[in-house]
Amino acid sequence: MLQQESIKTVLVTGGTGYVGSHVCKYLLEQNYVVHSIDRNLNARPFANRFAKGYSLDFSDKNDLDKIDELFETHKFHAVVHLGANSLVGPSVTEPSKYYRNNVCGTLNLLDMCVKHNTNKFIFASTSSVYGDGHQPPITEEVTPRPLTSYGRSKLMIEGVLADYHRAYGLKSVALRLFNVCSASPDCEIGEVRIKPTHLIPNVVEVAEGRKEKFSVFGTDYNTPDGTAIRDYTHVWDVAKAFSNAITMLDDKDGNYVFNIGAGRGFSVKQVLNAMEKALGKAIPVLEESRREGDPSHVSADVSLAEKHLNWTPSNSNIDKICQDTVNWLNSEEYNKIDLSKVPQ
């Protein structure tokens, strides 16, 4: 009986997404019983190996009764909420879609938690809440100025979480993720992108022969090598942060917001050099003009997460990030994936 009572069951939304699948794997290795809901469950079978998965959508009213049954049956110890629309471009052109899913859908989940006395909620927020114009490293205390409905929708939920804690006693941690990248160190799971928008996946597109050249947008920034600097965070460090957040809420009341990043930045040229080293070959480069609105340097101050989550970004040096990425590309698991069937 005592052994049964010590088993903790967690629900992960977006559990077959890039970050979600790594979080499921990490939690499973920490001896949680992991369940996940994901509307793309059947389209990403390679990412559905670390949780009991359900093809359900928390934004679809027709699925809410089934999700309610999951809460009633499993008495979840915590909910880890990673399900969201997250592409910056469409969030500008289709804001209604982003607010309905990222805000209204999240309210559905929060109300389920309140109804079923699941009082720990870990939320995947984003550095996009900050917008532009902040001096690096960015702390949680600066005034958020989101530029898109994606960032604004995440900031809205951070405010909702504060209200739900005050009114209903729902404890929460919002993790503001910076540029998540790489793969699990054992190569069981990694990033799979079709038409990627982030830097490292775009280098991968060139390395895999799906693009001719890698575009460097701007070589005249006020940085040591002239290229823009960003904070790249190893996905395994990110997964650990979600696990540590559950542990923190086991012992503490409150609602919290933490940056989750490398705590330092790497330039585009540094990333490119590290990828070429890991690949063992040169990457053809096309130098282009700066993109409007791109800041020269963005990086996170992670001191609050280090202090309160007992967390450090121990894998987030650029050589390890790139080597684990390449190891995943060369892995048997990656090469079994039919990329033509992966949702964009």
For 263-320, the pLDDT digits (tens) are 999 999 999 999 999 999 999 999 999 877 688 899 999 999 999 999 999 999 999 9
Cα of first residue to Cα of last residue in the chain, in angstroms, is 46
pLDDT band at 198 (very low <50, low <70, confident <90, very high): confident
The whole-number pLDDT of residue 183 equals 97
> pLDDT-based confidence at 88, cuts 50/70/90?
low
Task: Tell me whether residue 209 is in a domain.
Answer: no
| 29 occurs within a structural domain | yes
Say how far apart CA 156 and CA 53 lie, in whole Å. Answer: 28
- Per the structure, the count of domains in the chain is 1
Predicted pLDDT of residue 214: 92
Catalytic residues: 150
- Quote the tokens at residue 236: 């395994």
**CA atoms of 272 and 270, how far apart (whole Å):** 5
3-state secondary structure of 183: coil
Q: What is the pLDDT of residue 344?
A: 65
Cα–Cα distance, 142 to 140 (Å, whole number): 6
Q: Which of 218, 190, 153, 221 is nearest to 332 (CA)?
A: 190
- pLDDT at site 1: 35
Whether residue 109 is contained in a domain is answered as yes
8 Å CB contact between 124 and 82 = yes
Q: Please indicate, yes or no, if residue 160 is contained in any of the structural domains.
A: yes
How much is the pTM? 0.94
pLDDT at position 144 is 95
Question: Does 250 map to a domain?
Answer: yes
Cβ-contact 13, 109 below 8 angstroms: yes
Number of residues assigned to the chain: 344
Predicted pLDDT of residue 342: 84
Q: Is residue 12 part of a domain?
A: yes
Q: Give the rounded percent of residues in the chain with a pLDDT score beyond 70.
A: 97
Out of 4-8, 30-34, 90-94, the most confident range is 30-34
Mean pLDDT of 215-223: 93
Give the Cα separation of 246 and 239 in Å (integer).
11
Confidence of residue 2 (pLDDT cuts 50, 70, 90): very low
Contact 322, 200 (CB under 8 A): yes
Alpha-carbon gap, residue 176 to 158, rounded angstroms: 10
The domain of 17 spans 6-179+233-261+301-313
Give the pLDDT of residue 264.
Answer: 94
Please enumerate, as own/partner, the contacts of 274-281 that have beta carbons within 8 Å and a separation of 24 or more: 274/318, 274/319, 274/321, 274/322, 275/200, 275/203, 275/207, 275/322, 275/325, 275/326, 277/319, 277/322, 278/319, 278/322, 278/323, 278/325, 278/326, 279/207, 279/326, 281/207
- What rounded mean pLDDT belongs to the chain? 93
- Whether 204 has a pLDDT exceeding 60, the answer reads yes
Q: How far is CA 100 from the centre of its chain?
A: 20
Question: In this structure, what token pair is assigned to residue 102?
Answer: 């990222």
The predicted pLDDT at position 321 comes to 97
Residue written as token pair 């990627």 = 196
Helix, strand, coil percentages in the chain from 3-state DSSP, rounded to 5:
45, 15, 40
Section 101-110 average pLDDT: 95
pLDDT above 50 (res 86): yes
Q: What is the pLDDT of residues 139-176, one digit of tens each?
A: 999 999 998 899 999 999 999 999 999 999 999 999 99
Q: What percent of the chain has pLDDT over 90?
A: 80
Asked if 150 and 134 touch (Cβ cutoff 8 Å), the reply is no
Reading the block at residue 51, the tokens are: 């949780």
- Give the type of residue at 48: N
Is the confidence at residue 205, as pLDDT, over 60? yes
Residue 50 belongs to a domain: yes
Helix (H) / strand (E) element for 175: namely strand 171-177
CATH number of 75's domain = 3.40.50.720
- 53 within a domain of the structure (yes/no): yes
The confidence score (pLDDT) of residue 6 equals 77
